[in-house]
Amino acid sequence: MNEKPAYEEPISMILRRRPHGNKEGIARTLRWVAISALFIFLTLIVFEILSNKYTEALVISIGILPILFSILLIRQGTISLPSAILAVTMILLVTYLGTFGQGLYDVGVIGFPVVLIVAGLILRDKVISYLTALIILALGWLVFGDVFGFYEPEAIVNKQTEDFFFAAVIILVAGNAVRLLVENIHQSLALAEQEIATREKVEKEREELIRQLRLKNQELDRFAITVSHDLKTPLITIAGFLGYLEKDSRAGDTERVGKNIAQINEAAKKMGKLVDEILDLSRVGRLMNPPANIPFDEIAREALEAAEGLLKTRQVEVRMDAIFPFVHADRVRAVQVVQNLVTNAVKFMGGARKIH
């Protein structure tokens, strides 16, 4: 099944498919966050080992496994799952640091809102709700675990150099991640604007095409009326002179038979010429001959000759006394116009037999 062009999709679908700009940008941001988290874990392990806290170092080292798994998923093009894994891992890490540190007042607790903000720029509503619930549970553990004596936080000291390190790294990671993700959001908005501009352009082109088609349909209607009218005149001429030909041949009037045949032949030639002009008109859409200065009496005379068969059949007499001026016109079209006027007059003149 062929994919739809971008301009035929709803904008909301495009934004959902690329919620924060391009997928590559999100993957780069997540990779950077994962590597930063890995650096934090390794640094903590080093601190614990230097402090002779080998058990704590072993527990922290377990957190490296989901981070490595997240990096692998990111390299395979997955975004949502590694984002959730990294968020849960960092929440558990902050909770662990608070439990074996200063409890609710540990500097690592500032990582909770940071994790929630960064994850909120990538993950969906339900996952954010789950992460929020997990952070509330972690805070409950740090508060009520201390109250009920499940763990004993360290005493708050005035100076602790590692606190600055942890706080600086958390803020640095959060600030850079948010910056990259906001850039991707701006790219998404730019994409939406581009899609809207493309849709507006396509819509204008469609409206112009509809307008052109409407005009062409009107031209086709006029064309059909003109063809129907113009083709009937030579056919009536041929039919009329065939009647005269039959009558004169029975009477043995060879002179009139020859004239009748000549008239039929002339009408057939005019019909062939008219058919050629119709074919030309169908090819170019509108037949145009260069205008010229022509005596109008020549135009009228040619029109009467073209309608001669109809005039004789209806026994209509046409008199032309006036001296006509020159006209600047398309000769072929002008003759057709006058011919149509004459034939229409003959068809609708009632019982009269003269046109003056």
What CATH code is carried by the domain that includes residue 347? 3.30.565.10
Confidence category of residue 11, pLDDT binned at 50, 70, 90? very low
Say if residue 198 is in the same domain as residue 322.
no
Distances in whole angstroms, Cα of residue 141 to Cα of each of 53, 91, 137: 23, 12, 6
**Rounded mean pLDDT, 199-218:** 86
From the list 190, 27, 15, the residue with the least C-alpha distance to 6 is 15
Give a yes or no: residue 243 inside a domain.
no
Q: Which of 107-116, 242-251, 339-348 is predicted most confidently?
A: 107-116
Distance CA 349, CA 31 (A): 92
Is 128 a residue whose pLDDT tops 70?
yes
Distance CA 291, CA 250 (A): 47
Give a yes or no: residue 223 inside a domain.
no
Chain segment 12-39, per-residue pLDDT in tens: 454 445 444 457 767 887 888 888 888 8
Final residue of a structural domain among 204, 234, 265: 204
Give a yes or no: residue 326 inside a domain.
yes
Higher per-residue pLDDT: 289 or 40: 40
**pLDDT at res. 251:** 77
Please name every residue paired with 329 in a beta bridge, in sequence order, or none if there are none: 292
Confidence category of residue 267, pLDDT binned at 50, 70, 90? confident
Is 6 a residue whose pLDDT tops 50?
no
Give a yes or no: residue 216 inside a domain.
no
**pLDDT at res. 1:** 41
Give a yes or no: residue 112 inside a domain.
yes
Confidence category of residue 283, pLDDT binned at 50, 70, 90? low
Is 256 a residue whose pLDDT tops 50?
yes
292: number of Cβ within 10 Å? 12
Say if residue 162 is in the same domain as residue 297.
no
Assess contact for 279 and 311: CB atoms under 8 A.
no
Helices (H), 121-253: 125-147, 161-251
Domain count, the chain: 2
Tell me which DSSP letter residue 77 carries: T
**Rounded mean pLDDT, 296-317:** 76
What six digits make up the tokens of 185?
A: 């959001």
Final residue of a structural domain among 146, 180, 204: 204
**pLDDT at res. 141:** 92
Tell me phi and psi for residue 355, to 5 degrees.
-120, 125
Q: Is the dihedral of CA 204, 205, 210, 216 positive or negative?
A: positive
Say if residue 22 is in the same domain as residue 165.
yes
DSSP readout, 227-254? HHHHHHHHHHHHHHHHHHHHHHHHHT-H
What six digits make up the tokens of 92?
A: 């558990």
Say if residue 293 is in the same domain as residue 173.
no
**pLDDT at res. 15:** 46
Which distant-in-sequence residues (6+ apart) come within 8 Å of 39 by Cβ?
A: 169
**pLDDT at res. 138:** 92
Distance CA 30, CA 180 (A): 10
| 0.75 surpassed by pTM | no
Give a yes or no: residue 256 inside a domain.
no
Is 137 a residue whose pLDDT tops 60?
yes
Q: Which domain holds residue 149?
A: 6-204
**Rounded mean pLDDT, 266-292:** 66
**pLDDT at res. 289:** 67
Give a yes or no: residue 229 inside a domain.
no
Is 3 a residue whose pLDDT tops 70?
no
For the chain, give the mean pLDDT. Answer: 77
Chain segment 142-171, per-residue pLDDT in tens: 999 988 888 888 776 655 666 676 677 777
**Rounded mean pLDDT, 111-131:** 81
From the list 143, 162, 163, the residue with the least C-alpha distance to 153 is 143
Is 295 a residue whose pLDDT tops 90?
no
Chain segment 163-207, per-residue pLDDT in tens: 676 677 777 777 776 776 677 677 777 777 787 888 888 888 888
